[in-house]
Amino acid sequence: MAQLTKLTVRGFKSIRELEDFELRNVNVLIGANGAGKSNFMSLFPMMAAIGQKRLQLYVQEHDGPDALLFGGRKLTKQMVGEFSFGRVGYRLTLSPSGPRLIFAREETWSAAGVREGVTRSLATGQDEAQMLDMSDPTFDLYVLPALATWRVYHFHDTGVAAPVRQAQPVRDNLLLKPDASNLAPFLRFLRERYPSEYGRIVETVRMVAPFLGDFVYRREAKERVELEWFQAHDLDTPMSPRQLSDGTLRFISLATLLQQPAHLQPDTILIDEPELGLHPAALTILAALLRQAADERQLVVSTQSVDLVNELAPEDIVVVSLKNEASTFERLEAEQLQEWLADYTLGDLWKMNVIGGRPSR
């Protein structure tokens, strides 16, 4: 597992400067709208694009360099990122050049770190990253696979026309997609190849939706399958995915993401607002799933849910605030909140603005 242990970011969107920020197994971002939670999360898919030599496409799709640089190129001349994976790391500096971002610096390091260990400069002035061409066994084995799997899961699109409610190609089952659009073929794949994990997913979903008996499995699969299901009291009549509520469908997606076999999961699982449409009782179960997944994987979660925060430990929480038009990130410490937590929950302290993360002028 290539766990991201520390990162430094300068000049990216609302992040003017974030130095040597430690990431742990559970990292739950809370804060007001516009504080910078989504900007922090978006750093990961940008790095995934860089690792796949798709930086220029990413820049175009996200409105050009000025939308990605803190305050635009008039205020920020370079974007810097440092990513530590224990004793291996990657550093890049990007500069605007017309409609592009080009590499002013790209390097890797190993052993003691970038300041003391062995540093390898890759290239300068290139449009796309050279890390794929460096042939370093340690870097190739740990860092590149981690970068390639960074994606933000957001199961917000559950409308009548949402892809997750439509029939999808049965062969589209290698990985669960960020919007769960291939949920039906992926669950079919788990049922056939990993029946114990599949059974655990169904049992977990029943804790939130006891009316669900199981998902329909047709042995003679057509080219496309949809998320058909049985009611618990009627295992003879298939139900349509259009008959599942938005909250139920989102929880099925979350349970599948967090309880699939660990080797199919990204090393770092990023989830944006998993609480959407969920009952408070479902959030208690979700928190347990997050803690369970964190035994083998790293989690970065953005939330606005007081109920979910109440289920977590202080050290799991990172408070994101906007100060002087720049995002700040502060991890809570249990010792500093010990007296408060004797009488209040974490969610209470958030609502009371004791720990920050509330809108402010």
Higher pLDDT, 289 or 141: 289
Higher pLDDT, 88 or 332: 332
Residue 136 and residue 13 in one domain: yes
Residue 28 and residue 139 in one domain: yes
The pLDDT of residue 139 is 77
The pLDDT of residue 113 is 47
Separation CA 137–CA 153 (nearest Å): 30
Residue 126 and residue 42 in one domain: yes
| pLDDT bucket at 134, cuts 50 / 70 / 90 | confident
CATH number at residue 106: 3.40.50
The structural domain count of the chain equals 2
Query: What token pair was written down for 270?
Result: 């990023």
Residue 174 and residue 30 in one domain: no
Residue 140 and residue 186 in one domain: no
Write out pLDDT tens, residues 156-195: 999 999 999 999 999 999 999 999 999 999 999 999 999 9
Beta-bridge mates of residue 329: 320
Residue 5: pLDDT over 50: yes
| pLDDT bucket at 146, cuts 50 / 70 / 90 | confident
Residue 31 and residue 140 in one domain: yes
Residue 104 and residue 175 in one domain: no
Residue 1: pLDDT over 70: no
Domain that holds residue 201: 163-249
Write out pLDDT tens, residues 34-55: 999 999 999 999 999 999 999 9
168 exposure class (CB count in 10 Å sphere: 0-12, 13-18, 19+): buried
300 membership: H or E segment, kind and range: strand 298-302
What pTM value is reported for the model?
Answer: 0.93
CB 44: neighbour CB atoms within 10 A? 21
Q: What are phi and psi of 350, to 5 degrees?
A: -65, -45
Do 122 and 147 meet the contact criterion of CB atoms below 8 Å apart? no
Separation CA 309–CA 26 (nearest Å): 12
Residue 97 and residue 189 in one domain: no
The pLDDT of residue 140 is 77
Is residue 157 a part of any domain in this protein?
Answer: no
Mean pLDDT of 84-90: 87
